[in-house]
Amino acid sequence: MALKLPRRSVLQTGAAFMAGSCAVPFTRALAAGKDTVTIGWPNDVGSWDPNQRFTPDAQAIFKAVFDQPLDQDPQLKLIPHLIKNWSLAPDALSMAVELRDDVTFHNGDKMTTEDFRYTFFERPKSGLKLDTANSWRKVQDIVVESPTKATMKFASPAPTAPQWLAFLGSFMVPKKYIESGGLENFLKKPSGTGPYKLAEYELNSRIVLERNDKYWGPKAKIPRVTIEIIKDPSARVAAIQSGAVDWTVNVPVREVQRFKDSGFAAALEPITRVILLQVRNDLAFADKNVRLAAHHAIDKAALSKAFYGGAAVPLSVPATPGTPGYMPDYTFSYDPELAKQYLAKSNFSPSNPVKIGFAATNGQFPSDYDIARAIVQMWKRVGIEANLQVIEYAKYFELNRAVKLPETTLYSWDNATGDPELYSGYLLNPKMPFSAWKGEEVGQKVLKLLNVAEYDARIAGYRELNRFAVEDGATIPLLQSVLTVVHKKNLTYTKYANGWMLAQTLQWS
């Protein structure tokens, strides 16, 4: 017997369903109350193992669920967190730490120095292929003296060990929970000591956090935080515009003023990310005159005005204002005439230009490709003809390792700690894959500084290195990067100089 459906009824039911579906209140936007907040965020965490990968964009999310041994205040000063006291030995070969004794993981386990040892020694050495295995490779052992006291032992001086305890991947994880339940269970139900617990997670779509009411520190003001992973900048604009999210970042720079005019709080926040030209010390750039000419020919203020509304500070050294390596009194001038003179010394001129290769990403950071095109034009005026090519950010390291980068590459470098080792110490270290510069003199200076334990001497050394590297043409710093932030006016948050946007600091007014 054939099943006969009355056609009219089917159509009517279908139409009613569609209409009803639309008529059901669009709950998310209408439900925004003081107890919830929705954030539009451009990237997912990838994995809920916070030690696994160094992803700067995920650090703010990890900081909601996990705690770091040390923290930074909004001005980036290192402050106690899970670690109450720390003392780096004068030779930087060991560091004694004292943990808080009132911290519990979300699963109820009490945090002790066993967890500390597990996170920073046992796990990195276990062959799990964690990125922290690299950052903590100098750790020889962590000697546990009591549930709250331990000493980190380093194979070679580790002067930035305290900074690294507040940096990428350094999040405390629960030893017992992972060992007894397995890693897969931990990835599904991560247990940290942070101010929020993970309530729900959908890959590439949504993270829902619920307040940890047993948190050892100041409780988060908003009980429930939803993080919508919205990768497309236009979709983020639409989401904040429509009220689907209350707060978002990385919208196009040109949208910031429009949002301000339409009743939102919007800002271009300078952060500790530098935009610079990574430079090779061979090919056409073997000639110092060409390198210095390339630097003098760039009008950084014009770039800032054109692409960042003037909010990005022009830089003369690879460090941002307010960080220890920054040199406020030092300026590398924009001087096209001087650039022409340098080129003339090497028999180049606008009619006989020096030809160089120039690589840039397109879409890795705001206006990157446009900045590169503008620089090409600036160079053309003084006698440098650059062949611009687009590369993927992920390929930078590989091309650099294979010595296949062109003379210069537009690059952005994030350093949430603000420490100069993590600027010039990495960017100019010829042994690291970040540095395109392989010159011996700069390299020797960097390697020497990596072993300087005394803080003031270390900072003075890096300032001197910065000046030397810039005047040698080993680096061409351009701008301090900016972060675009848009949010509802009655939503406030703590601004961090490194651009961290922490859910636990959000508050409705």
Partner 1 sequence: MIAIVGKLIARRLITAVPILLAVSALLFCVLRALPVDPAAMSLPPTATVEEIEAKRHEMGLDRPLPEQYVIWLTDALHGDFGRSIQFRRDSGSLVATTLPATIQLAASAMVIAAILGIGGGLLMFRVRGTLLEPVTDMVSILLLSIPEFLWGLILLFVFGVALHLLPFTGQVSPELPAPRITGFLLLDSLLAGRVDIFLSACQHLILPAVALGLAFSPTIMRVLRSSLFDVYHEDYIQQARLRGLSEGHILIKHAFKNASLPTLTLAGVQFGILFSGTLLVEVIYSYPGMGNLMVDAVRNADLPLIQTIGLTYCIVVLVINTFVDSLYVVLNPKLRVR
Q: Which is nearer to partner 1, 226 or 481 (CB)?
A: 226
First to last CA, the chain: 66
Q: Which is nearer to partner 1, 310 or 363 (CB)?
A: 363
Q: Which is nearer to partner 1, 381 or 431 (CB)?
A: 431
Q: Which is nearer to partner 1, 45 or 375 (CB)?
A: 45
Please tell me the count of residues contacting partner 1 according to CB under 8 A: 56
Q: Smallest distance, Å, CB 227 to partner 1? A: 9
**One-letter amino acid for residue 121 of the chain:** F
Q: Smallest distance, Å, CB 351 to partner 1? A: 36
The answer to whether 268 contacts partner 1 (rule: CB under 8 A) is no
Residue pair 207/93 in contact by the 8 Å Cβ criterion: no
The answer to whether 436 contacts partner 1 (rule: CB under 8 A) is no
Rounded-to-5 percentages of helix, strand, coil across the chain:
35, 25, 40
The residues near 102 (Cβ < 8 Å, ≥ 6 apart) are 216
**One-letter amino acid for residue 28 of the chain:** R
The answer to whether 188 contacts partner 1 (rule: CB under 8 A) is no
The answer to whether 234 contacts partner 1 (rule: CB under 8 A) is yes
Token digits of residue 464: 């001197």
Q: H/E element holding 187?
A: helix 183-188
Angle (nearest 5°) at CA 323 between 319 and 328: 70
Residue pair 284/269 in contact by the 8 Å Cβ criterion: no
Token digits of residue 419: 């420490």
Q: Which is nearer to partner 1, 202 or 471 (CB)?
A: 202
Strand 36-41 to 224-229 pairing: parallel
The answer to whether 244 contacts partner 1 (rule: CB under 8 A) is yes
Q: Which is nearer to partner 1, 131 or 141 (CB)?
A: 131
CA distance 413 to 426: 10
Residue pair 83/96 in contact by the 8 Å Cβ criterion: no
Q: Smallest distance, Å, CB 40 to partner 1? A: 8
The answer to whether 5 contacts partner 1 (rule: CB under 8 A) is no
Q: Smallest distance, Å, CB 345 to partner 1? A: 36
Q: Enumerate residues 191-230 that contact partner 1 by CB under 8 A.
A: 200, 202-206, 208, 226, 228-230
Cβ atoms within 10 Å of 157's Cβ, excluding its own: 19
Q: In what order do the strands lie in the sheet with 36-41?
A: 196-202, 206-211, 224-229, 36-41, 247-249, 475-487, 265-279, 408-414, 354-360, 384-390
Q: Which is nearer to partner 1, 15 or 79 (CB)?
A: 15
Piece of 68-76, 377-385, 390-398, 470-478 that binds partner 1 (CB under 8 A): 390-398
In the numeric block, the tokens 């600027």 are attached to 423
Q: Which is nearer to partner 1, 31 or 155 (CB)?
A: 31
Q: Enumerate residues 43-62 that contact partner 1 by CB under 8 A.
A: 44, 46-47, 49, 52-54
Residue pair 397/302 in contact by the 8 Å Cβ criterion: no
Q: Smallest distance, Å, CB 450 to partner 1? A: 13
Piece of 129-137, 334-342, 375-383, 500-508 that binds partner 1 (CB under 8 A): 129-137
Q: What are the two backbone dihedrals, phi and then psi, of residue 369, each rounded to the nearest 5 degrees?
A: -70, -35
Q: Smallest distance, Å, CB 480 to partner 1? A: 22
* Given 2, 6, 9, 20, the residue binding partner 1 (CB under 8 A): 20
The answer to whether 395 contacts partner 1 (rule: CB under 8 A) is yes
Query: What string of DSSP letters covers 409-427?
Result: EEEEEE-TT--GGGTHHHH
Cβ atoms within 10 Å of 105's Cβ, excluding its own: 25
The answer to whether 238 contacts partner 1 (rule: CB under 8 A) is yes
Q: Which is nearer to partner 1, 73 or 200 (CB)?
A: 200
The residues near 54 (Cβ < 8 Å, ≥ 6 apart) are 131, 135, 168, 169
The answer to whether 1 contacts partner 1 (rule: CB under 8 A) is no
The answer to whether 24 contacts partner 1 (rule: CB under 8 A) is yes
Q: Smallest distance, Å, CB 15 to partner 1? A: 12
The answer to whether 262 contacts partner 1 (rule: CB under 8 A) is no
**CB hemisphere CA count around 39 (13 angstroms):** 27
The answer to whether 151 contacts partner 1 (rule: CB under 8 A) is no
Piece of 2-10, 62-70, 351-359, 391-399 that binds partner 1 (CB under 8 A): 391-399
The answer to whether 298 contacts partner 1 (rule: CB under 8 A) is no
Piece of 61-69, 190-198, 232-240, 380-388 that binds partner 1 (CB under 8 A): 232-240
The answer to whether 509 contacts partner 1 (rule: CB under 8 A) is no
Alpha carbon separation from 393 to 318, 364, 397, 412 (Å, rounded) = 19, 7, 8, 10
The answer to whether 412 contacts partner 1 (rule: CB under 8 A) is no
Applying CB under 8 A, which residues contact partner 1?
17-18, 20-22, 24, 26-29, 31, 38, 40, 44, 46-47, 49, 52-54, 129, 131, 134-135, 187, 200, 202-206, 208, 226, 228-232, 234-235, 238-239, 241-245, 392, 394-395, 397-398, 401, 432-434
